[in-house]
Amino acid sequence: MAPAKTISIPYIEGDGIGPEIMRATRCVIDSAVNKAYGGDVRLAWMELLAGEAAFRAYGEYLPKETLQEITQAKVALKGPLSTPVGGGIRSMNVALRQKLDLYCSIRPVRYFEGVPSPVKEPQKLDVVICRENTEDVYKGVEWKRGSDEAIALLSILRERLGVELREDSGIGIKPISEFASKRLVRAAIKYAIQKSRTSVTLVHKGNIMKFTEGAFRDWGYELAKAEFGDATITEAEIASSGRPRPDGKVLVNDRIADNMFQQILTRPSEYSVLATPNLNGDYLADACAAQVGGLGLAPGANVGDSAAVFEAVHGTAPKYAGKNIANPSALMLSGVMMLEHLSLGEASRSLMKAIERTLAEGTLTQDLARMSGSSRACGTKEFSEAVAARI
């Protein structure tokens, strides 16, 4: 008998609701792997510390051992981490993504039957937001009003560049580079091709910020033409050909961010993959999640060339911590993405189907039950048991 294949999976429980949603998620992932492969594949879970738990143990929020283990395993499942109040580290979530160079945030948003939604036809939304994860506001380059740095910058702007700003301004710098924009758009187009998605829309505010947001759009088109010329087509090319859009090619188009926000509500079925700079993508992902039931159902992956960390979009929801109330679906769906990434497709599909059935049969945690006006809500643990029973 061949020995079982063991895959090492580092995980970070996280703060707040992290431990309980992680427990629920590991349990259903193990069930799905067991069901799909019998004893042939085994996941060896390895707990890593970060956040409050790491601070209690080591006096630091993001120990280097945690980063090393993830780098070595090339994968991790992560619970939410709270941002320490009072300085030191800006955000551990941001720090983790930057230190491991997880440059592409992938957030799929789709409707699940049985889930109450604030819109009339939530099933029309099925998008994947590929958001740049290292630059723009995530770079965190800013100085406080009145600081030496802010004053120095104000004088350089005034004296060398002829730009007059108010003395009482805080100063932030928004860098968007060709390198980071192109690798993000490359990842988005590759994703669209691999998953047979029909379009990649470059979302930007280039009408106002021409050399950052506008450049993101221009570099995106350039990259699509140079590296995926045979596999993609633009709206301009379709218009100039005078022929209908050909089958089998990924449409690359662009939308100004404010228009994108209204189109994703009014014409959701026209969009498939959205490639965005950091801040636009942040807003869009939560707005899209709200259309299909909220943050409790929004999974995510942060992917680089050498590692991928899977985590829910939501945070630590501290008021629900330890109360068996939180919805674990977003982390479970991140687990679905992780299994697919690990080429455990059968387990990934079986877990997805079990989550779909659980929700469709009306087993809802309080965040979803209250939207449908129901007073019957199940707890985190009961939801997890219901999913496990359907695997």
What token pair was written down for 363? Answer: 């087993």
Does 80 help bind ligand NAP (rule: CB under 6 A)?
A: yes
User: Considering the complex, what minimum distance in angstroms separates the CB of residue 286 from ligand NAP?
Assistant: 9
CA trace torsion 256, 260, 262, 266 (10° rounding) = 130
Segment holding 132, helix H or strand E: strand 126-132
Does 25 help bind ligand NAP (rule: CB under 6 A)?
A: no
Does 83 help bind ligand NAP (rule: CB under 6 A)?
A: yes
User: Considering the complex, what minimum distance in angstroms separates the CB of residue 366 from ligand NAP?
Assistant: 7
What is the distance in angstroms between the CA of the first residue and the CA of the last residue of the chain? 26
**Selected catalytic residue, list 205, 249, 271, 320:** 205
**Selected catalytic residue, list 138, 191, 271, 320:** 138
The phi and psi torsions of 7 (rounded to 5 degrees) equal -115, 125
Q: Which residues contact 21 (CB under 8 A, 6 or more apart)?
A: 14, 79, 312, 326, 327, 328, 330, 331, 380
Q: What is the C-alpha to C-alpha distance for residues 39 and 3, in angstroms, rounded to an integer?
A: 9
User: Considering the complex, what minimum distance in angstroms separates the CB of residue 367 from ligand NAP?
Assistant: 4
Q: At what angle do helices 380-389 and 329-341 cross, to 10 degrees?
A: 40
User: Considering the complex, what minimum distance in angstroms separates the CB of residue 23 from ligand NAP?
Assistant: 13
Q: Residue number with the shortest CB distance to ligand NAP?
A: 315
Does 24 help bind ligand NAP (rule: CB under 6 A)?
A: no
CB atoms within 10 A of CB 79: 26
Among residues 65, 24, 61, the alpha carbon closest in space to that of 46 is found at 65
**Selected catalytic residue, list 136, 254, 282, 367:** 282
Point out which span in 31-39, 76-84, 271-279, 371-379 binds ligand NAP (CB under 6 A): 76-84
Residues 289-328 that bind ligand NAP (CB under 6 A): 295-296, 311, 314-317, 326-327
Q: What is the C-alpha to C-alpha distance for residues 80 and 94, in angstroms, rounded to an integer?
A: 12
User: Considering the complex, what minimum distance in angstroms separates the CB of residue 63 from ligand NAP?
Assistant: 17
Look up 138 and say whether it is catalytic.
yes
Residue number, 181 or 327, with CB nearest to ligand NAP: 327
Point out which span in 3-11, 75-83, 203-211, 265-273 binds ligand NAP (CB under 6 A): 75-83
Is residue 49 classed as helix, strand or coil in its secondary structure? Answer: coil
Q: Per-residue contact track with ligand NAP, 360 to 379, x per CB under 6 A?
A: -------x------------
Q: What is the C-alpha to C-alpha distance for residues 291 and 311, in angstroms, rounded to an integer?
A: 20
Residue number, 34 or 91, with CB nearest to ligand NAP: 91
Secondary structure E strands in 18-115: 41-48, 75-78, 104-110
Look up 282 and say whether it is catalytic.
yes
Look up 230 and say whether it is catalytic.
no
Q: Per-residue contact track with ligand NAP, 190 to 219, x per CB under 6 A?
A: ------------------------------
Site size with ligand NAP, rule: CB under 6 A: 17
Q: Per-residue contact track with ligand NAP, 240 to 279, x per CB under 6 A?
A: ----------------------------------------
Q: What is the C-alpha to C-alpha distance for residues 217 and 39, in angstroms, rounded to an integer?
A: 48
**Selected catalytic residue, list 40, 195, 210, 258:** 258
Is residue 295 classed as helix, strand or coil in its secondary structure? Answer: helix
Among residues 146, 156, 152, 186, the alpha carbon closest in space to that of 305 is found at 186
Does 93 help bind ligand NAP (rule: CB under 6 A)?
A: yes
Look up 305 and say whether it is catalytic.
no
Q: Which residues contact 384 (CB under 8 A, 6 or more apart)?
A: 23, 24, 25, 27, 28, 328, 332
Among residues 122, 281, 378, the alpha carbon closest in space to that of 387 is found at 378
Does 66 help bind ligand NAP (rule: CB under 6 A)?
A: no
Residue number, 256 or 330, with CB nearest to ligand NAP: 330
User: Considering the complex, what minimum distance in angstroms separates the CB of residue 87 from ligand NAP?
Assistant: 14
What token pair was written down for 116? Answer: 């109450």
Q: Write out the catalytic residue numbers.
A: 138, 205, 258, 282
Residues in touch with ligand NAP (CB under 6 A): 17, 80-83, 93, 295-296, 311, 314-317, 326-327, 330, 367
